[in-house]
């Protein structure tokens, strides 16, 4: 059992040599390509992650810009709407004023026409009264008139007037 | 043959007695096992490292990449920092080599070479060389020597602290060898003892021998599972401690 702890220098040296050679050969033919592939893949993952982060930031920025623009457009639309309402109100007031003016003018014109027509009618009535008076007077003057005949004349004149 | 001789016979290295003239060549069961394991690792890993088109090859390559990433991120970088990156191939080889040699004992006609103090001493020597190389590479000779004296140590304590620190480093490396050797040896001894129980009891009475077969086998299976766990654990501990010691030399206090 004491041999268990007795070192075999030959085995020790051979193991050192064997292991050193194995490390060297594996480093050259196995670990180098594997570590290279691993680092390449990790680099790819890092690049993809960075790109994704960049794209996320860009999309966030674009969204912010669009939101700002949308807010601006809404504000502008509200302003334009208010302006249009104001313009429409002004136009409405203008149209109402013009209509009122026009109606007043038409009314005045109508009143003038009515007055003229009235005056004309008065003039005609006056003429006719005058003519009738003249006619009545001439009839009265043409015959001797008693009360009964005078009344008959008046009735005749009135009938004549009614028929006219 | 007594029990002690049986155990020694199964655990001790067998020299095949190959001579070159008058010089004895160290061709033993353990050195042959180590050579076979090295050949297997070299062939398998070189094949895996190539770019494969078939699914199995790609799977194995991915598995090895995961293994390298485990050693790098779990062992080397946390203990040695970025300086350890260049030594990653050493640690990748160390863990796989120790694990393979530990497990080789499970294969019939092969031996667990790590139950030989010469083999574990050789591995510890390689790790010691790596620790020395790390110190010299990053601090130079004077810096490396100064690293043995913690900063803030009073001048009058330096002659006491310096040899203590040097011996401590050497002991750490020696302990690496002893820990692996003791763990692998004890596991094999227990396995052998459990088997021998059947024969020892059987010598007393044949019925007792037959009756002890089942319990002995159950314990044997349990211990084999434990040995598998120990094989992984000791490979990891050896690799981790080498990284910690190398890291402590690179990043001195």
Burial of A12 (0-12, 13-18, 19+ CB in 10 A): buried
Question: Within the 155-194 window of chain B, which residues sit less than 8 Å (CB to CB) from chain A?
Answer: 185
C-alpha B140/C-alpha B102 separation (Å) is: 36
Task: Tell me how far apart the alpha carbons of residues A31 and B95 are, in angstroms, rounded to a whole number.
Answer: 13
How far apart CA B107 and CA B186 sit, in angstroms, is 18
- Provide the whole-model pTM: 0.74
8 A C-beta contact, residue B45 and residue B93: no
Decide if A16 and B125 are in contact by the 8 Å CB cutoff. Answer: yes
Q: What is the DSSP string of A123-158?
A: HHHHHHHHHHHHHHHHHHHHS---HHHHHHHHHHHH
Query: Average pLDDT over chain B, rounded to whole?
Result: 89
pLDDT at B107: 86
Are A37 and B4 inside 8 Å of each other by CB? no
What value does the mean pLDDT of chain A take?
A: 88
- CB–CB of B111/B13 below 8 Å? yes
C-beta atoms surrounding B253 within 10 Å? 8
**In this complex, do B117 and A23 lie within 8 Å of one another by their Cβ atoms?**
no
Ordered by start, the domain boundaries in chain B are 3-250
Please tell me the distance from the alpha carbon of residue A71 to that of residue B224, in angstroms, as a whole number.
74
The pLDDT-based confidence of B183 (bands split at 50, 70, 90) is very high
Shortest Cα distance, chain B CAs vs residue A30, angstroms: 5
CA of A16 to nearest chain B CA: how many angstroms apart?
5
Q: Is B11 helix (H, G, I), strand (E, B) or coil?
A: helix
Q: Burial level of B252, CB count in 10 A (0-12/13-18/19+)?
A: middle
> CA-to-CA distance for B24 and B16, rounded, in angstroms?
10
Closest CA to B242 of B107, B113, B137, B88: B88
Q: Taking phi first (over 0 means left), then psi (-120 to 50 degrees means alpha), and beta for anything else, what does residue B19 get?
A: beta
d(CA B67, CA B236): 12
Any idea where the domains of chain A sit in the sequence?
A: 10-163
CB B51 within 8 A of CB B210: no
Q: How far A23 CA lies from chain B's nearest CA (Å)?
A: 6
3-state secondary structure of B24: strand
pLDDT value at residue A163: 73
pLDDT band, residue A131 (cuts 50/70/90) = confident
- How distant is the alpha carbon of residue A3 from its chain centre? 103
B223 neighbors B191 (Cβ within 8 angstroms): yes
Name the pLDDT band for B144 (thresholds 50, 70, 90): confident
Confidence of residue B12 (pLDDT cuts 50, 70, 90): confident
Length of chain B: 253
- Most trustworthy range by pLDDT among A121-125, A129-133, B48-52, B244-248: B244-248
pLDDT of residue B130: 94
**How much is the pLDDT for A145?**
57
Q: Look at residue B35 and tell me whether its pLDDT is greater than 90.
A: yes
Best residue of A2, A24, A27, A31 to probe chain B, by most B CBs closer than 10 Å: A31
B97-102 average pLDDT score: 95
Tens of pLDDT, residues B213-252:
999 999 999 999 999 999 999 999 999 999 999 998 888 7
Residue B89 sits at the chain A interface (C-beta within 8 Å): yes
Let me know how many helices (H) and strands (E) chain A has, helices first: 3, 0
pLDDT above 70: residue B46: yes
The confidence band for A146, taking pLDDT boundaries of 50, 70 and 90, is low
d(CA B71, CA B65): 10
Tell whether the model's pLDDT for residue B127 goes beyond 80: yes
Q: Is the pLDDT of residue B133 over 60?
A: yes
Residues in chain B closer than 8 A to A46 (CB atoms):
none
Indicate which of A1, A6, A12, A42 best probes the interface with B, i.e. most B CBs within 10 Å of its own CB. A12
Q: What is the pLDDT of residue B198?
A: 87
A71-84 residue pLDDT tens = 999 999 999 999 99
What was the pLDDT predicted at A142? 67
CA distance B249 to B243: 10
Is B28 within 8 Å of A34 when comparing Cβ atoms?
Answer: no
Above 90 in pLDDT, residue A130?
no
Q: What is the mean pLDDT of residues A32-47?
A: 92
> CA A99, CA A103: separation in Å to the nearest integer?
6
Widest Cα–Cα separation across chain A: 194
SS3 B144: helix
Instruction: Give the number of beta-carbon pairs within 8 Å between A and B.
Output: 124
Rounded to two decimals, the ipTM of the complex is 0.90
- A7-11, B18-22, B59-63, B112-116: least confidently modelled range: B18-22
Give the pLDDT of residue B70.
95
Dump pLDDT digits (tens) for A84-96: 999 999 999 999 9
Q: How far does Cα B138 stand from its chain's mean position?
A: 26
Note whether B140 and A34 are within 8 A (CB): no
Contact with chain A for residue B6, Cβ under 8 A:
no
Chain A: residue nearest B97 by CA?
A19
Distance from CA of A45 to the nearest CA of B (A): 14
Backbone angles phi, psi at B24, to 5 degrees: -80, 130
Q: Which of A19, A20, A28, A40 to mutate to test the interface with B (most CBs of B within 10 A)?
A: A19
């Amino acid at each position: 059992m004491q041999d268990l702890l007795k070192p075999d220098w030959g085995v020790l040296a051979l193991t050192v040599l064997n292991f050193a050679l194995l490390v060297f050969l594996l480093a050259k033919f196995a670990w180098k390509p594997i570590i290279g592939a691993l680092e390449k893949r990790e680099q790819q993952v890092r690049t993809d992650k960075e790109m994704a982060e960049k794209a996320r930031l860009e999309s966030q920025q674009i969204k912010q810009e669009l939101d700002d623009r949308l807010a601006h457009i809404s504000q502008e639309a509200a302003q334009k709407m208010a302006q249009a309402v104001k313009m429409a109100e002004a136009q409405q007031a203008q149209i109402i004023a013009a209509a009122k003016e026009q109606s007043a003018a038409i009314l005045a014109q109508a009143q003038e026409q009515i007055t003229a027509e009235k005056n004309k009618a008065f003039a005609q009535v006056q003429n006719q009264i005058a003519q009738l008076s003249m006619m009545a007077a001439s009839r009265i003057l043409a015959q001797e008139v008693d009360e009964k005949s005078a009344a008959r004349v008046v009735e005749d004149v009135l009938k004549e007037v009614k028929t006219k | 043959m007594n029990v002690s001789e049986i155990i020694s016979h199964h655990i001790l290295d067998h020299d095949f007695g190959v001579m070159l003239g008058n010089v004895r060549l160290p061709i033993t069961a353990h050195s042959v096992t180590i050579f076979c394991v090295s050949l297997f690792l070299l062939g398998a890993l070189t094949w895996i490292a190539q770019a494969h088109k078939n699914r199995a090859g790609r799977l194995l390559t991915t598995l090895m990449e995961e293994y390298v990433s485990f050693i790098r991120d779990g062992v080397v970088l946390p203990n040695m920092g970025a300086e350890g990156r260049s030594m990653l191939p050493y640690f990748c080889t160390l863990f796989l080599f120790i694990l393979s040699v530990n497990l080789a004992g499970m294969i019939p006609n092969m031996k667990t070479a790590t139950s030989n103090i010469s083999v574990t001493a050789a591995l510890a020597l390689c790790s010691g060389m790596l620790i020395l190389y790390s110190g010299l590479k990053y601090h130079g000779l004077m810096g490396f020597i100064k690293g043995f004296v913690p900063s803030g140590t009073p001048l009058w304590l330096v002659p006491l602290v310096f040899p203590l620190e040097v011996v401590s480093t050497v002991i750490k490396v020696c302990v690496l060898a002893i820990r692996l050797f003791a763990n692998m040896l004890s596991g094999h001894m227990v396995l052998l003892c459990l088997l021998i129980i059947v024969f020892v009891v059987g010598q007393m009475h044949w019925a007792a021998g037959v009756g002890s077969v089942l319990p002995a086998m159950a314990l044997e299976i349990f211990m084999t599972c434990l040995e598998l766990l120990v094989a992984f654990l000791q490979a990891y501990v050896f690799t981790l401690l080498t990284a910690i010691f190398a890291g402590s030399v690179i990043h001195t206090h």
